[in-house]
A and B are shown apart, each in its own frame.
Chain A
Amino acid sequence: MRPVSIRSIAAAVLAAAGVLLAAGAAAQGVIRIGAPLPLTGPLSPEAQKLQNGMNLWAETANKAGGVKVGAKRMKVEIVYVDYQSNTPRAVQATEKLITQDKVDFLFSPFGSGAAKAASSVSEKYEMPTIAATASSEQVYDQGYKYLFGVYTPNQTLTEPLADLVQKQAAGVQRVAILARNDLFPLAIAQEMEKSAKKRNMNVLYFEKYAIGTLDHASALSQIKALAPHWIFATGYINDLILIKKQMGDLGIEAPVVTMVAGPAYKEFVSALGKGAENVSSAAWWHPAVRYQSKDVFGSTENFNKLFRDKYGLDPDYGEASSAVSGVVLQLAIEAAGTLDRKAVREALAKMNTMTFFGPIKFGPTGQVNSLDPPVFQVQKGKQVVILPTAIKQGSLQLGVK
């Protein structure tokens, strides 16, 4: 048997010291939550929104004394890592947060594609993960137990919209769909196709464009030649601004133009000006909803107010969903009374409570199934809610130039 070298003893001592230090840090009373975000790159506007929401929750929770963990209260700290809008790097960032930064809990990276990719890592380490912005059912179809998402499935957006169009825009028969070749935009486009076909509409065109496409003139020329009544385009904010602008350039007009997911953001309206008029969309939340809740915000109105005080503008769904991810985690930890991951996971699975975002109850796959997503339209430069009827602010206007 080889004698144990000085080197290996030193290494073992250092490792033990490292573990003790890490344990010591956790024992100092801070809950650390990892947040891999696309802080740079084409998806950075989305990351900015997520950061705004998460930071607002962390501040509000800390100001109220921290999260109640059993008998004591602990402050929260969010550990951000930039994955540069690159999904493989999002997976690496997730692994790093869990294994090196030793965070206690995790928020998913942005979007269905990255959330799904990173969920395999968090499942491997049994790390409860809240996905703020993952709506496609495909994200939750791997039977994972530790992933929870606060967006309802894509068809909850397309079905009410298709219903509304069928009822209020009779004669809309020809549909053209242009989808970004990415998990969520493609998934919701496929749901739209299903919703349209279910209502006997004719889907004349369904094509995908590559991620990073700078020019849509070819696809849009083909769409123009087909003279559709309803144009449905999916992508992220920058894609949709470009598509709508090029639609204007090519002189494309249609009774209904729906885009997901961009028109909810102020940037869409400010970049397009009159070009944004009457573009419809659906989202997972809208500041017009009104809920009274027992979470750290207390009500939707209070959340809106705190957000406006801190950032100077009204929140949109990306900012609200990231804030509610923190809220949901906080409620689960408080219900479990401990930071033990299995216990927190159980609390999440059992959750059935009202938050400022709406009623939160997770289905068997981990995706929330209790919310009623709003449909809205840009009218005179403002986002106007047209569904659900309970919070309706206006009616569907036809005709988009």
Chain B
Amino acid sequence: MLSLQIFANGLVLGGLYACIAAGFSLVWGVLNIINILHGSFIVLGGYLAYYAYAKLGIHPFLSILIAAPLFFALGYALQRALINRMIAAPVLLTLSLTFGLDLMLSNGMLFAFTADFKKLTLDPPLGVLSLSGIVLPVDRLFAMLLALGLTGLLYLVLSRSRIGRAIVAVRMDREAAALMGVNVKRIYAVTFGVGALMAGASGPLLAMIFPISPLSGPAYLGKAFVICVLGGLGSVPGAMIGGLALGVVESFGGLWFGPEHAVTLSFTLLILMLLFRPTGLLGRAGYS
């Protein structure tokens, strides 16, 4: 019984993790950019949802629809204006750029919102769902379903739409895609915009569950890293599998080794994956 509860906890957590990582993985896989801003985008999305709820009474699920286009535009503009200038540079340089931008963003948020943690508490609260002895908080469950839905939507876009296929083509081989008539610069901007959109859209979901603070970005970024390695870079199904796997591993790790070792367990798993299967569970060699 306890194991089933722990497994359920892990899946719910995993769904959220999948959403956090999907955009990050895509940007890394397609543009070869480690987007340090990803964590702060999530936090900014969370603040958007918090203030929308506190001041305007807009439900966080609706805030996702507001956040999505805003963050897409932000990501697109950022990529075109700044990051595109360094697109051919070594990965460490682009990492420095996104790191610097992240410092500006998180300190800007610190200045605007102060460091105090804010908690988005739904009023009335959504309550809990009790299924044959397993208790699941409804807000987490909805968040997980929405997260998986978003990720699924992303996958559909990538596999069915023209622009999605173009993104995948650029990821597979940039020169060949250009030869096929794909406007690579535009695709880069669109992909970065999509990454930002995923981050901004997961913000409201996470804000309902965890307290938000301008400095909680790095925690989410750390999870995204581990999930990328677990699931494979650039692969949305990989991010989903990786996220769910990480959620379950952390949950059971907490049960078997005590909660203080849950994080150690996930990073040990990361190291093992890097040693034995560096392309991840679903990644393919050569595409990372």
Stretch at the interface among B154-162, B175-183, B186-194, B257-265: B257-265
Q: When the two chains form the complex, which single residue of A45, A221, A245 contacts B115, counting CB atoms closer than 8 Å?
A: A45
Decide if A219 touches B259 in the complex (CB within 8 Å).
yes
Quick check: is B84 within 8 A (CB to CB) of the other chain? no
Quick check: is A163 within 8 A (CB to CB) of the other chain? no
Q: Which of A44, A209, A217 has the most CB of B within 10 A?
A: A217
With A218-B254, A225-B1, A242-B210 as given contacts, are A44 and B115 in contact (CB-CB < 8 Å)?
yes
Quick check: is A12 within 8 A (CB to CB) of the other chain? no
**Interface positions of B from 221 to 276, Cβ below 8 Å from A:** 250-255, 258-263
**Interface positions of B from 1 to 29, Cβ below 8 Å from A:** 1-2, 5-6, 9, 13
Quick check: is B117 within 8 A (CB to CB) of the other chain? yes
A208 CB contacts on chain B under 8 angstroms: 258-260
In the complex formed, the residue of B with least CB distance to A210 is B260
Main secondary structure of the interface of A (DSSP, over half): helix
Stretch at the interface among B35-43, B211-219, B279-287: B211-219
Complex Cα spacing A242 to B258, Å: 18
Listed by A's residue number, 16 A-B pairs whose Cβ atoms lie within 8 Å are: A39-B115, A41-B115, A42-B215, A45-B115, A207-B260, A213-B262, A214-B210, A215-B250, A221-B2, A222-B255, A225-B2, A237-B117, A241-B117, A245-B119, A249-B137, A251-B130
B128 CB contacts on chain A under 8 angstroms: 249-251
Decide if B135 touches A215 in the complex (CB within 8 Å).
no
With A45-B115, A241-B119 as given contacts, are A217 and B9 in contact (CB-CB < 8 Å)?
yes
Complex Cα spacing A273 to B119, Å: 11
Complex Cα spacing A178 to B117, Å: 21
Decide if A241 touches B211 in the complex (CB within 8 Å).
yes
Q: When the two chains form the complex, which single residue of B6, B110, B116, B215 contacts A218, counting CB atoms closer than 8 Å?
A: B6
Decide if B137 touches A218 in the complex (CB within 8 Å).
no
Task: Count B-side interface residues using an 8 Å CB cutoff.
Answer: 37
Quick check: is A267 within 8 A (CB to CB) of the other chain? yes
Chain A min CB distance to B98 (Å): 20
Complex Cα spacing A210 to B264, Å: 10
Complex Cα spacing A45 to B213, Å: 11
11 new A-B contacts, CB < 8 A, other than A210-B263, A218-B255, are A40-B115, A42-B213, A208-B258, A215-B210, A218-B6, A218-B253, A218-B262, A242-B210, A245-B119, A249-B128, A267-B116
A214 CB contacts on chain B under 8 angstroms: 210, 216, 219
Chain B min CB distance to A109 (Å): 16
